[in-house]
Structure 1
Amino acid sequence: MAYQVVEKSAALDTLEAQLQERQSRLEALQVRVAQLQEARGLQARQVEDQRAQNAAQREAYEALRVHTSFQEAALRRLQEEARDLLERLVQGKARAAAERNLRNERRERAHQERVTQELKKAAKRTVSISESPDTFGDDGTKKGSETLTLALATEPEPLDSETCEKWKRPFRSASATSLTLSRCVDVMKGLLDFKKRRGHSVGGVPEQRYQSIPVCMVARLPTWAQDVLDAHLSEVNAVRFGPNSSLLATGGADRRIHLWNVVGGRLKASQTLEGAGGSITSVDFDPSGSQVLAATYNQAAQLWKVGEAQSKQETLSGHTDKVTAAKFKLTKHQAVTGSRDRTVKEWDLGRAYCCRTINVLSYCNDVVCGDHVIISGHNDQKIRFWDSRGPRCTQVIPVQGRVTSLSLSHDQMHLLSCSRDDTLKVIDLRVSNIRQVFRADGFRCGSDWTKAVFRYVHLPVLSTCVPSNPGVGVCSPLSPSPLHGCCSPDRSYALAGSWDGTLYIWDVDTGKLESSLRGPHCAAVNAVAWCHAGSHVVSVDQARKIVLWY
């Protein structure tokens, strides 16, 4: 029993040691539970705070959304009011011009009536013509004074013999009749000049529309590269000739426009236009050649003045994606831009204001403008026609391949399109039908902005080039002459550059490949331009080069 008591005591000691260990662990766990409960309470309080903040932010968002809707409604109302004010202003100016014209016409009629009355009175007036009393004859003797009376009437009366004899006598003094007649002639000239000066209304400025003037020059197809330059710091995307055929502009990915003069078969740098916010995709001159418009990748178009030392640019902002095309209309005060935001916008350049937005349903790669039509080429392989006086699309012509460029003929009867199916198509706008499709072995469209151009080339005929209206420059064959040639639109050509740097020229009338020019280009040709005189061609490529062809 004593042995069992000892064993039981040892077992009891072991159990007591285990109990103390477990009690210490329980205390540690209770402390941990307290800490976790405290952390849980803190997390719960943070969750409540976050919920309160979210609710406050939700309420602020709703308030801002309501305020934004109110602001948008107010903006729409202000835009409508601005349009109404503009219409009323235009109508007021038109009424003021009409009233001013009416007043001028009344004043002119009153002036004409007054002059007519003066002429009638002068015709009925009797004028005395007398010689000086100190008149000496040929023999040196002094003669007496002689008086001659001349009655001015509407119808001449027969003169008797005595009067005829008096008319034969010499006299020195200037006659009052000659003065009166000269004054009448001056008055009539003044009236004619006044009528000529009254050609335009003084109540408003007439819109300037520029028409191209035919140039008496024999054009020919280019055959060789005359000049080669590294034009930009990176690839060149666009090139365009000015109206005078000696000034051209190039734009590239370096965000600059360089102006060049063609002098003696060489390209000479004239001016650099900076300030574009992105890569330049197209350039265009206004009809007078005084402004340059460029489309850029910074969702805007830029407008510069040509020839100014520090040229300031106007920014036409409003697109929400890259602007791929920017063209002037028939006046220098209006322009059209196309963008990848699926819109085409018309601009009033006098106020840098977007006067119309057209939703075109697809990426727009190029636009051209006619008299009353806007033509846009798109990424969905379609060419769309828009009436500039109406809101809807008037016609859609499908083509195979994404449209990269459009070029309108001078007579606005044919449209040239270039597309990514490696073809050029000539569309007859009179019947809205594809007239020709140009292909060539080796020709491939190098990019989505590859530009092709139309060109009418005038062939010489043996006739004298004489202006039909002197000072205007319009040619009309009058008589044969071996010294000069007169321009006649005998051929039209399509020009485009390929991915391998080759230029291809097709005859539009026959549809045959006329020639292919291989030269200094070692990369894809992005754009080409044919001068208005027809004497030279310029091409630009992705390797920074600009080439002048003759």
Structure 2
Amino acid sequence: MEEFSGGPLGSTEVLVSLKRSHEGHRLQMESINGELAYKIYERNMLLKAKDATLEEQQDRLAYLEGELCDLEAKQYHLRGQVDELNRKNATLKEEYDTLRQHYGHQEGEFRRAAERSVELLRCLMQVKADAAQHENERIERAKHARVSQELKKATKTRVSVKVYPEVVKADKQKMETTDVPEEQNGERLRKRPFRSASATSMTLTRYVDVFKGLFDFRLKRGNSISSVSEDRYCSLPCCMAACLPSGVSDIQEAHASEINAIKFSPNSGMLATGGTDRRIRLWNVVAGHLENMQSLEGANGSITSVEFDPSGCHILAATYNNAAQLWKMGDCQFKEILTGHTDKVTAAKFRSTRHQAVTGSRDRTVKEWDLSKGACSRTIDVLSYCNDLVCCDTIIVSGHHDKTIRFWDSRDVRCTQVIPVEGTVTSLSISPDQMHLLSCSRDNALKVIDLRMHNIRQVFRAEGFKCGSDGTKAVFSPDKSYAMVGSADGTLFIWNMETGKLETTLAGVHRSPVNAVAWGSSGTYVGSVDRCRKVVLWR
């Protein structure tokens, strides 16, 4: 106001200056106003977007709250089911505890019943054995009495014999100059089994045994499966009394590894051994010594058993390559191979002719074979695998891992008889008269079975005897006076059949378990083989 007091009130310059100042200020305010309006617009757009998102989130929250209510309802329902299942589980647990206690009680009763049944079976077998023994003794006494009466009657009968001196002299000269032929029809003639009573002292029992052996001999004929008629081989009573071995006659290291099988030929002049080196060695028995004769090659697995046919011209062997193989004497290569088993073949035996054979295997089957065709004629399914078998006439006897001995008839598909023993059967041996069977088992015992009564007649045990394996073999002596087996410590045990007592032991030669033994049909030699490749000839 003081500035304007010095000049005119309506000065133009002052007004222009004020106008310009107000105009700049107005423009500045408009610019600021526009920026603020744009920011307000942006904030409004963001607010609308937030409102939309909020609404969407509220809708989703409402949906989730509904699902939560449903889940809580389901959870409540499932909790109810869990509680119900817990109650049922508690009830079932109580029932299970009750049943378990009842099962324990029943198992105890079953075990006691099984023990009682075993004891009753043992008692029954003992009663049968005693009855059979009494019956056999009665029959023997009756036979002895009958023979004694006949001999007494014969001694009282007078016989008139008219002797001419000239004839007696001529007969005497003829007997002195006549030589006995060594062979007739390819067979060696044997000496008379006994002399007159004036030359040899023999008891009445020995006479009865000799006459029984001679008169019980039967010549059998039959046809093989190939319908070729032939004479069946028969066993003459060639051994009157077996010699009890007392010492070593010869020792040989026969194979490159363990020996499993040993067998004498029918005339006892040859010995065959088979082992895990897949070879069969043949030995000549000459003057108490073993002479290497031949080696049979071609086996694809370890040899488990060897067997001569009754003529001694063929050898049948069981092998671990699920087959049995047949050799002919003089040929180094095998003649026939019998395939069809699915596991190790543990036994292979000839039937009554060289055209028929039987094999047993760990595939739980026993097979009959027609060797002329090289084909299996019958397969027998068994519940347990077979360790050994023997054949007699139409009957096949097999020993099994399940502690039983089974009898099979070639004319019947079913098992005809089962005899339980107390251990796994390792071997079977049949007596020459086919009246008794010798079994060896893992309960460290030999059992003699009466084939007429089908019961156990004798049981042989001894301190120190232990069956070494599932393939341990035991045999009868050829006159059925003794039973022999090898032990796990290398000792041979021999029992007397008549007394039932241990007759002798042969120790100190074998240093490892004896796998198999054999007794020559002449009764002179005994052979044994062990795990350390050794074959021993005893005499």
TM-score, scaled to structure 2: 0.57
Number of equivalent positions: 317
- 1:272 aligned partner: 295
**1:381 corresponds to which of 395, 403, 408:** 403
**2:371 corresponds to which of 337, 349, 353:** 349
Summarize the Cα distance change of 1:435–1:314 in structure 2 as closer, same or farther, 3 Å threshold.
same
Partner secondary structure for residue 223 of structure 1: coil
**Runs of at least 4 residues off by over 2 Å:** 213-219, 310-313
1:331 alignment partner AA: T
CA distance in 1, matches of 2:416, 2:251: 44
Q: Is residue 523 from structure 1 mapped to residue 512 from structure 2 by the alignment?
A: yes
1:326 alignment partner AA: A
**In the TM superposition, what is the alpha-carbon distance from 1:456 to its structure 2 partner?**
3.7
- 1:369 aligned partner: 391
Q: Is the 8 A contact 1:407 1:416 kept in 2?
A: yes
- 2:490 aligned partner: 501
Q: Is residue 448 from structure 1 mapped to residue 437 from structure 2 by the alignment?
A: no
CA distance in 2, matches of 1:215, 1:364: 31
Partner secondary structure for residue 481 of structure 2: strand
Over residues 95-132 of structure 1, what are the superposed CA-to-partner deviations in whole Å (9 max), with x where a residue is unaligned?
xxxxxxxxxxxxxxxxxxxxxxxxxxxxxxxxxxxxxx
Q: Is the 8 A contact 1:528 1:540 kept in 2?
A: yes
CA RMSD of aligned residues (A): 1.8
**1:87-486 equivalence runs, <5 A:** 205-215=228-238, 219-308=242-331, 310-457=332-479
Q: Is the 8 A contact 1:425 1:435 kept in 2?
A: yes
Task: Give ranges in structure 1 of 5+ residues lacking alignment.
Answer: 1-198, 458-490
**In the TM superposition, what is the alpha-carbon distance from 1:510 to its structure 2 partner?**
1.5
Partner secondary structure for residue 278 of structure 2: coil
Partner secondary structure for residue 231 of structure 2: coil
Over residues 38-90 of structure 1, what are the superposed CA-to-partner deviations in whole Å (9 max), with x where a residue is unaligned?
xxxxxxxxxxxxxxxxxxxxxxxxxxxxxxxxxxxxxxxxxxxxxxxxxxxxx
Over residues 485-529 of structure 1, what are the superposed CA-to-partner deviations in whole Å (9 max), with x where a residue is unaligned?
xxxxxx611000000110000011211000001132000000000
Give the fraction of aligned pairs with identical amino acids, expressed as a percent: 67
**1:63-102 equivalence runs, <5 A:** none
1:274 alignment partner AA: E
Summarize the Cα distance change of 1:204–1:358 in structure 2 as closer, same or farther, 3 Å threshold.
closer
- 1:120 aligned partner: none
CA distance in 2, matches of 1:204, 1:232: 40
Partner secondary structure for residue 477 of structure 2: strand
Summarize the Cα distance change of 1:230–1:350 in structure 2 as closer, same or farther, 3 Å threshold.
same
- 2:528 aligned partner: 539
Summarize the Cα distance change of 1:425–1:200 in structure 2 as closer, same or farther, 3 Å threshold.
closer
CA distance in 1, matches of 2:423, 2:366: 21
Q: Is the 8 A contact 2:239 2:523 kept in 1?
A: no
**In the TM superposition, what is the alpha-carbon distance from 1:312 to its structure 2 partner?**
3.3
Q: Is the 8 A contact 1:231 1:544 kept in 2?
A: yes
TM-score, scaled to structure 1: 0.56
CA distance in 2, matches of 1:540, 1:262: 15
Over residues 462-486 of structure 1, what are the superposed CA-to-partner deviations in whole Å (9 max), with x where a residue is unaligned?
xxxxxxxxxxxxxxxxxxxxxxxxx
CA distance in 2, matches of 1:402, 1:252: 22
CA distance in 2, matches of 1:342, 1:522: 34
- 2:96 aligned partner: none
CA distance in 2, matches of 1:205, 1:401: 42
Q: Is the 8 A contact 1:343 1:358 kept in 2?
A: yes
- 1:514 aligned partner: 503
Over residues 402-439 of structure 1, what are the superposed CA-to-partner deviations in whole Å (9 max), with x where a residue is unaligned?
00000011111100000000000000111111000000
Q: Is the 8 A contact 1:226 1:549 kept in 2?
A: yes
Over residues 239-260 of structure 1, what are the superposed CA-to-partner deviations in whole Å (9 max), with x where a residue is unaligned?
0111110111100000000011
Say which one has the larger Rg: 2
Q: Is the 8 A contact 1:304 1:311 kept in 2?
A: yes
Partner secondary structure for residue 509 of structure 1: coil
